[in-house]
Structure 1
Amino acid sequence: MADPSTIRIPDDLLPADGRFGCGPSKVRPEAVEALSRVSRTYLGTSHRQKTVRNEVARLRRGLAEFFSLPDGYEVILSNGGTTAFWESAVFGLIRDRAQFATHGEFGAKFATAVRAAPFLGEPTVHSATPGTAAALTAEAGVDVYGIPQNETSTGVSVPVRRVPGADPDALMLIDATSGAGGLDVDVAETDVYYFAPQKCFGSDGGIWIGLFSPAAIARAEEIKASGRYIPAFLDVVTAIEQSRLEQTYNTPALATVFLAAEQTDWMLSQGGLAWAAKRTAESASIIYGWAARSSFATPFVTDPAVRSTVVATIDLDPAVSADAVSAVLRANGIVDTDSYRKLGRNQLRVALFPAVEPSDVERLTHCIDHVVERL
C-alpha cells in the first residue's frame, strides 16, 4: 500500500468546501460574515436586552414558518443541547412510563437517561441492529414515546408518525437532531420535535430547540404542579416561559443563536423545508449512486426505505482502509469523513446537510476514487 502521507489530490478534483462532518457541521461563510458585521453591536451584549432578544425572536419566528407550525404549537429553546433536553424530558415530560425505539447510539442514550431516573417506571426499549430501523408499538400505560427521526451514528432514517392505538394522552417525542431542516416532516404528528442547531441548521451547539404541541406544554405544567423535584436548569416550564420572552434562563451562546437564525432565513429564502429536503435528497442520490457503481464501496444501510438523505454511511471493502482514506482526505483539506467511533466499522460517514453543495458531494466521490486508486 502506498504511503497515505504522499498522496495529493489535484486541485481540480477538490470540492469548493471540504467540510463533511456530521456535527459540528459546515457553517456557511456568508453566515459567519453576517455575524462579523454585528460583532460590535451583538456579541458581548446582554441577553436580556432587545439586541439579543430580537435574534431569539427572529430564530423562533423563522422556525415557525419553516416548519409550518400547527395552531397552538410553540418554538421553545433552552441551553445545553439535545443531551440536556433528554434530562429535561426525564424530569418534566414523562409521568411514569416511556417507550423507545432505538437504531443507534443516540436513540439509546435517551432510554438510558430514563432508566436511570429513580422516580420513573422501567422503560420499554425496542432496539434494532445498527443499519436497520426499530419501531414503536402501542402499549397501555406508556405516556411518552420516543424515536430518532434520523440516527446520526448509523445513517438510518424513519418516517415521523404517531403510534396507532397509543393511549390518547401519550406524547410523541421525536429526536430530530440531525434530521430537522433536511428531512420532510409533519410536525402535527409529534408533540415535541426537538433538535440542536449544529447540523442542518448550520450553527454551533449549546442549545436545544423543541417544537412543542399544546399537549406537551400542558404535560410540563402538570408535572411541575405535582411537586416533583426539577433542577432549575432542566425545568421545561421555565424554558417555555423564557422562550415566550424571547430569551433563555441562562446566558445562551449568542453566536449559536445568530448563526441558526441566519441559516433558517437562508433556507426560507431558497424555498423552505421542501427545498431543503429536495437538496439533501439530491446529494444522497449522488453518493449512494456512486457507492452502487463502485467496486469497493456499498451503502451501510441496505434498505433504501430507511436510508438517510442527510447522513450517508458507506462501507468500504476490507482491502481498503477507511481510516487511511479519511486520513488522506483530511491531509488534502477534506475533513470529518470518519465513521462514528463506537460503530467500529470500516466506513466513511458523510453529512449531506442543506449547507453542503451537491456539487461538492460529487467532487468528494471523485476524490475518494482518486485516493483508493493510489492506496
Structure 2
Amino acid sequence: MRELFEVPTDYTVTLGNGGATTFWAVATASLVRHRASHAVFGSFGEKFAKETSGAPFLQESLITKAELGDSTLPQLSEQADVYAWPQQETSTGAIAPVKRVGHADQLVLIDATSISGAVPVDLTQTDAYYFSLQKALGSDGGLWFAFLSPQAVERASEIADAPSADRWIPAILNLKTAVANSVKNQTLNTPAIATLELLHSQLQWLASLGGLRDAHQRVCASSEAIYAWAQAKPFAAPFVADPVKRSPVVSTIEFDASVDTAVLLQVLRANGIVDLSPYRAVGRNQLRIGTFPSTDPADTAALLACLDYVIERL
C-alpha cells in the first residue's frame, strides 16, 4: 500500500471496520475540533456534511454546494478547522482537485472511496486521504483505510486526550485508538480476512500494471471511449459538462427523452449486462458506467457496441 500510493514516510496508514461511511463518524468525533467546512456536489459529500452538522458537540458546518454534474471546493473560513470534500462524487462522476487549502492548523480531508487506486495522488496535499476498498481496489466493502499526516494524528490525540463533558468518543470511532492499533498491524475489532486477501491480490495486480500512473492510463482508455461515444450521439451527452471535471472511473451519461434508460436497463439486464444504473438520489435519465482498473478497455468497447445495438431497436 505504501509503495503503490507513494505514502510519505511520516504519514500513518490506518484502517478500521465499517467503510468510509464509518470514517465520516470517526472524523466527526476525532478530527473536527469545532467546525468543518464542506464542499457538496453530490450525495456522498452531502452525507459527510450532515454527519458533522448533526454532531451536538460541533458548530453548524459551513457548506459550499455545486449543481449536480459540477464540482467545487469548500468555503475558506478562519472558523473552520477541517476542510472536507470528495475527490470524486460517485453519484455523478464529477471530480475535484486534491490540494491544500487554508492554513497549517486546518486539516484537509479527502474522500477517495471510488477513485483511490485508479489515479496518482500527491498525499502531501492532504491530512486524511481515506477510502473503502470496493471500487478501484477490487475488494469487498466494510473496511476503511486512511493515510494520515502527522498533523491529523496529532489532532486525533489532542481531541481524544482532552476531557469533555460534551464529546464522548466510542472506541470504534476513536482515531487515536485506530492509529495505535494500525502501527502494530492490528485493529480494534477483527476485520474480514477475505477482504484483506482480495485487497492484497489487487495491490499486486496494480503493481504489475506499473503502478497508479499505468492504472490511470488504463481507466482513461475506457472512460474517454464512453465520453466520445456519448458526444457523437444526438440523444446523449456526458453529464459532467466540463471535461476537466469528468471522472476517469465513473462515466455518467445523460440521455434525452427519446431514450428511456429504465427500459434500456431492463433490456440490458435481461441479456446479462448489469450495474449501469444511475444513482437513485440523482433521479435523472442516465447510465452510470464504472471503468475501474479491473475493467478491460475491450469490455468497454463491447459494451458500447451493445448499447448501439439495443438503442437502435428500442
**TM-score normalised over the length of structure 1:** 0.82
CA contact (8 A) 1:183 1:310 kept: no
Q: Match of 1:112?
A: 50
SS in 1 for 2:152: helix
Deviation digits for residues 4-36 of structure 1, max 9, x if unmatched?
A: xxxxxxxxxxxxxxxxxxxxxxxxxxxxxxxxx
TM-superposed CA distance for 1:71, in Å, is: 2.4
**Counterpart-to-counterpart distance in 1, 2:272 and 2:13:** 37
Corresponding residue of 2:12: 74
- Within the alignment, does 1:137 sit opposite 2:70 as a pair? no
1:222 and 2:222 equivalent? no
Counterpart residue identity of residue 139, structure 2 = S
Q: Report deviation, 1:182.
A: 1.2
Partners in 2 of 1:206 and 1:361 — Cα distance? Answer: 28
Cα offset for 1:295?
Answer: 2.5
Give runs of aligned pairs for residues 76-95 of structure 1, distance below 5 A: 76-95=14-33
2:265–2:276 contact (8 Å) kept in structure 1: yes
Unaligned stretches of 5+ residues in structure 2: none
- 1:269 pairs with one of 208, 213, 220: 208
Name the structure 1 match of 2:181. 242
Alignment of 1:238-317 (within 5 A): 238-317=177-256
Alignment of 1:88-103 (within 5 A): 88-103=26-41
Pick from 170, 174, 178 the counterpart of residue 106 of structure 2. Answer: 170
Fraction of identical pairs, as percent? 48
CA contact (8 A) 2:109 2:127 kept: yes
Aligned match of 1:206: 142
Q: Which runs of 5+ in 1 are unaligned?
A: 1-62
**Aligned residue number for residue 121 of structure 1:** 59
Report if the CA contact (8 A) 1:143-1:167 is conserved.
no
In structure 2, the residue matched to 1:325 is 264
CA distance in 1, matches of 2:89, 2:291: 14
Contact 2:37 2:76 in 1 (8 A): no
Q: 1:190: Cα distance to partner?
A: 0.3
Please give the alpha-carbon distance, in whole angstroms, between the structure 2 residues aligned to 1:95 and 1:261. Answer: 35
Letter in 1 for 2:66: A
| Corresponding residue SS for 1:173 | strand
- The structure showing larger relative contact order (alpha-carbon pairs under 8 Å, at least 6 residues apart) is 1
State the distance in 2 between where 1:69 and 1:264 align: 14
Q: Find the partner of 2:129 among 166, 181, 193.
A: 193
Question: Residue 132 of structure 1 aligns to a residue in which SS?
Answer: coil
User: What secondary structure is seen at the aligned counterpart in 1 of 2:288?
Assistant: strand
Q: Does 1:361 align with 2:300?
A: yes
The count of corresponding residues between Structure 1 and Structure 2 is 311
Equivalent residue letter for 1:186: D
Distance 1:304 1:349 in 2: 16
SS of alignment partner, residue 266 of structure 1: helix
d(CA) in 1 for partners of 2:121, 2:92: 20
Mapped to 2, the partners of 1:374 and 1:75 lie a distance apart of 51
1:64 maps to: 2
- 1:61-107 deviation digits (Å, cap 9, x = unpaired): xx111110112011110000011000011110110011000110000
The structure with the larger Rg is 1
Deviation at 1:244, TM superposition (A): 1.3
TM-score, length of structure 2 as denominator length: 0.97
1:337 is aligned to 276
Name the counterpart of 1:232.
Answer: 171
2:120 maps to 184
Q: What value does the CA root-mean-square deviation take over the aligned residues?
A: 0.9
Describe the SS at the equivalent of 1:184.
coil
Give the SS at the match of 1:354.
coil
